[in-house]
Structure 1
Amino acid sequence: MVATEHAGTTPAALATHIASALSKAIAERGQASLAVSGGKSPVPMFEALREQDLDWARVTVVLVDERVVPRDHADSNTALVARHLLQGKAAAARFLPFFREVALQFNAEGLDALVLDAEARTADLPWPLDVAVLGMGEDAHTASLFPGAPGYARAIATEQRLAWVVPDTAPHARLSFTLSALLGARELVLSIAGGSKLAVYRRAAEKVDETLPISLVLNQSKTPVSVWIG
């Protein structure tokens, strides 16, 4: 396992760590790329990160995964990032959405088309990702890599950057960076809060288990992972 744990952390401490990594990338390569997860959990970190003194105009922000919903939908991660991260100093960052319009049909053909469109939209994303910020569900899913869901097996096996997944246990079809794309990042950051999630994390850290998707991130030797436990 290549994970480094940081216990008792705060959103501000995590924001400072991410900002430091992005500043280093800008100093070394003139630009930086940041992939972030949605949901309610990262909001305090977003609001701390957006006030960091960065050359935000040199930062490209993208989602780790997105629900296939209109941008004005309550479950849109794109809207959440716009509302909580791309404000203040971070308003100068470039944001690359996976899509602007969603297909009316969410069959495999329609989702394949969305993936192709998302790949085109993110083609000039500075690669590899400098930092990808992950969360984890109590079922051990990370990004939209939901265990056993339609599309999951392909998303953890393909060398493509993006794939669709249709969770059985959560609403909405999803587009997500694949396991290969995530492991191509220079650094992965995993944020965990709560005793139940910590127990799942401890179990997943023991060995690779495809029924625990986060284990595929933790039990590898390619990409450093920093685990921030609140």
Structure 2
Amino acid sequence: MRTPDIVLPPGVVAHFGDSAQQVALDLADTVAKFLEGRLLKAERVSLAVSGGFTPVPFFQALSLKQLDWGRVDILLADERWVDEADLASNTRLVKENLLRNNAAAARYFALKQNGNTPEEGLDAVKAELEALTLPLDVLILGMGNDGHTASLFPDAPELVCAMDTQCQHLVAAMSSPSLEQQRITLTYALMDNARFTALHLRGDDKLETLKLAISQPEDLLAMPVRGFMKPGLQVFWSP
């Protein structure tokens, strides 16, 4: 296996593999074991996932795990404000790849609700999440080449509020010049309290972005993913 040339911060655990499929299976095993342990202690558990191409094999592998899925709450870390039928919908992606097989019994919380904009639908989203099991048990994040994670984009005018560690809201509406669609995202304060957090990455470009994020860890607003670079984070990466 090729060993990536990167030194992660103290307490951040590396899971590097030769193939995306291998790393996806490792992540599915790790998440399933963590959720299984939590289900021995809690009535319900929660799992927040991210959209995009990278997590698809992870979703498919996790959906086959033998868990008491009826006691698992699943939601997205962020969502594009588009109808579920739209190919850009992360909800569509999750339903087609994760909420199937054994995981079809899980309870899903949709971030996209009625309303022409995230601002219009914000109250409905908050109402949807009232029954969500908190704090989050498992949070799976991705990362863009600009250092965003979830929909915490560096150029979003709402970023300062969404990254506020004292924020009492679970979600925030997000817009930015770099976005094709408006978004809604879990807030940093909510995600930062997750019991288990993994960063799931693929490609050398993401490795370079990660190096840049690590090099200046204090500037969170420039690269919001830096907010999660702390002991306990587990990084799953493949070429």
- TM (norm. structure 1) is 0.92
1:1-230 to structure 2, matched below 5 A, reads: 1=9, 2-8=11-17, 10-101=23-114, 103-104=115-116, 106=117, 111-157=118-164, 158-206=167-215, 207-209=217-219, 210-218=221-229, 220=230, 224-230=232-238
Paired residue secondary structure (1:28):
coil
Paired residue secondary structure (1:228):
strand
CA distance in 2 between counterparts of 1:10 and 1:185 reads: 21
Deviations 1:41-97 (A, max 9, x none): 110100010001111111110110011011111111111100010010110111011
Paired residue secondary structure (2:140):
strand
Paired residue secondary structure (1:117):
helix
CA distance in 2 between counterparts of 1:46 and 1:170 reads: 25
Unaligned runs of 5+ in 2: 1-8
Unaligned runs of 5+ in 1: none
CA distance in 2 between counterparts of 1:192 and 1:39 reads: 11
Identity of aligned residues (%): 34
Deviations 1:105-148 (A, max 9, x none): x3xxxx33322211110111110000010000111110000002
CA distance in 2 between counterparts of 1:92 and 1:150 reads: 38
Contact residue 71 and residue 79 of structure 1 kept, 8 A: yes
Paired residue secondary structure (1:10):
helix
The corresponding residue for 2:5 is none
Counterpart of 2:44 in structure 1: which amino acid? Q
Counterpart of 2:145 in structure 1: which amino acid? E
Runs of 4+ in 1 over 4 A off after TM superposition: none
C-alpha root-mean-square deviation of aligned residues, in Å?
A: 1.4
Contact residue 189 and residue 225 of structure 1 kept, 8 A: yes
Cα gap change, 1:191 to 1:65, in 2 (>3 Å): same
- TM (norm. structure 2) is 0.88
CA distance in 1 between counterparts of 2:173 and 2:94 reads: 20
Deviations 1:146-167 (A, max 9, x none): 0021211211113321101113
Counterpart of 2:143 in structure 1: which amino acid? M
Contact residue 142 and residue 199 of structure 2 kept, 8 A: yes
Cα gap change, 1:100 to 1:161, in 2 (>3 Å): closer
How many Å apart are 1:208 and its aligned residue? 2.1
Q: Larger deviation: 61-70 or 115-124?
A: 115-124
CA distance in 1 between counterparts of 2:204 and 2:36 reads: 33
